[in-house]
Amino acid sequence: MPKPRPLYSRRGRVEILHGSGGRAMAQLVAELFKVAFDNAWLEQGNDAAVLPQVSGRLVMSCDSHVVSPLFFEGGDIGCLSVHGTINDVSMMGAQPLYLTASFILEEGFLFADLERIVASMASAARDAGVSIVAGDTKVVEKGKGDGVFITTTGIGVLREGIVLSGDLAQPGDRILLSGTIGDHGMAVLSRRENLEFDAPIFSDTAPLHGLVANILDCGARVRVLRDPTRGGLATTLNEIAQQSGVGMLLDESAIPVKKPVEAACEFLGLDPLYVANEGKLVAVCAPEDAVHLLEVMRAHPLAREAAAIGEVTEDSRRFVQMATRLGGRRIVDWLAGEPLPRIC
């Protein structure tokens, strides 16, 4: 039997029938997704993937991605959708194993762009040792979406003895940050607003499970791990303070920010503390272990600029406060409003 003409030539576009469940969709799945993601579970071709038994507790999370623009310096919606969910699973201390990916495509979306995004997802998943084992594709009419939205769900396994949670921070604990803040948000925003700075800003999007494994293996008493994505570092620290019923005192001069990011924030009137990151984590640990943990973090390529940025305090009002670099003191509040929509 002759092979049908490929549905997605490089100049082709997504049509409504690619999401209608018919032959066109089957062909899209077979020729694009299965080829790119290439694993035995997807190859089964059933309604759901049957996965092997694992030993340990299961950790599960999901993340939707609506970033605009779809492609930016240092990444795209594809690798972002893989890293986002891997990182959420990793923050519980789990080893991420499997992902599912759900695509909402807008009619008229270029197959060439979809192919690029899917290749980026496949490569991100492969690098992280994670398989994309199930998926779904829907197509909405032109004007009802914005190119592509991607939702990924991730499953990981948590070995015995690991207990990480946002409510475990204790007064006296140290707060460590794995590197510079604001890179992802400013990379996306500068591309979106067509702002050109002397030095380009690259998204920090990256899978953090390797760094997390090193953190957990070094013996430090780590209470909380969390990745400061939307809402930035400020929001993440407020979440932890709220959950744990504690306050925090940060040292502004210890928080690393790349010069171009600082300049771009200054230019747009933004505070890097509130700008999204996609490859950073915050670790709260026992004070005695902070020095050792910082060394371990800095030994990992994704955390070379890790820094101790403050400590947990006793405060029934749960305020995150900061000693400013000028010598004053201020609150670092929750993000109010949404200055940067569609950043991830």
Query: Which spans of this chain sit near other proteins (rule: CB under 8 A)?
Result: 193, 253, 259, 262-263, 266, 268-269, 271, 317, 319, 321, 323-331, 333, 336-337, 339
Q: Which residue, 40 or 336, is less far from other proteins as judged by CB?
A: 336
Query: Shortest distance, CB of residue 185 to other proteins, whole angstroms?
Result: 16
Percent helix, strand, coil in the chain, to 5, is: 35, 25, 40
Q: Which residue, 161 or 269, is less far from other proteins as judged by CB?
A: 269
| Strand order through the sheet with 247-251 | 222-226, 282-285, 174-177, 307-313, 247-251, 320-323, 329-331
Q: Which residue, 151 or 190, is less far from other proteins as judged by CB?
A: 190
Q: Which residue, 67 or 134, is less far from other proteins as judged by CB?
A: 67
Q: Which residue, 2 or 328, is less far from other proteins as judged by CB?
A: 328
Query: Shortest distance, CB of residue 193 to other proteins, whole angstroms?
Result: 7
Phi-psi region of 275 (alpha: psi -120 to 50; beta: other; left: phi over 0): beta
Query: Shortest distance, CB of residue 240 to other proteins, whole angstroms?
Result: 18
Place of tokens 């100049």: 11
Beta-strand pair 320-323/247-251: parallel
Q: Which residue, 50 or 336, is less far from other proteins as judged by CB?
A: 336
Q: At what angle do helices 77-90 and 209-217 cross, to 10 degrees?
A: 20
State residue 312 phi and psi, 5-degree precision.
-80, 140
172, amino acid identity: G
Q: Which residue, 50 or 326, is less far from other proteins as judged by CB?
A: 326
Query: Shortest distance, CB of residue 252 to other proteins, whole angstroms?
Result: 9
User: Which residues, at least 6 apart from 320, have a Cβ–Cβ distance to it below 8 Å?
Assistant: 234, 237, 238, 241, 247, 248, 250, 331, 332, 333
Query: Shortest distance, CB of residue 322 to other proteins, whole angstroms?
Result: 8
**Structure tokens of 118?**
């899917």
Place of tokens 């209470």: 223
Helix boundaries (H) for 44-134: 77-90, 111-128
Query: Shortest distance, CB of residue 334 to other proteins, whole angstroms?
Result: 8
What gap in Å lies between CA 66 and CA 49, rounded to an integer?
26
Query: Shortest distance, CB of residue 42 to other proteins, whole angstroms?
Result: 39
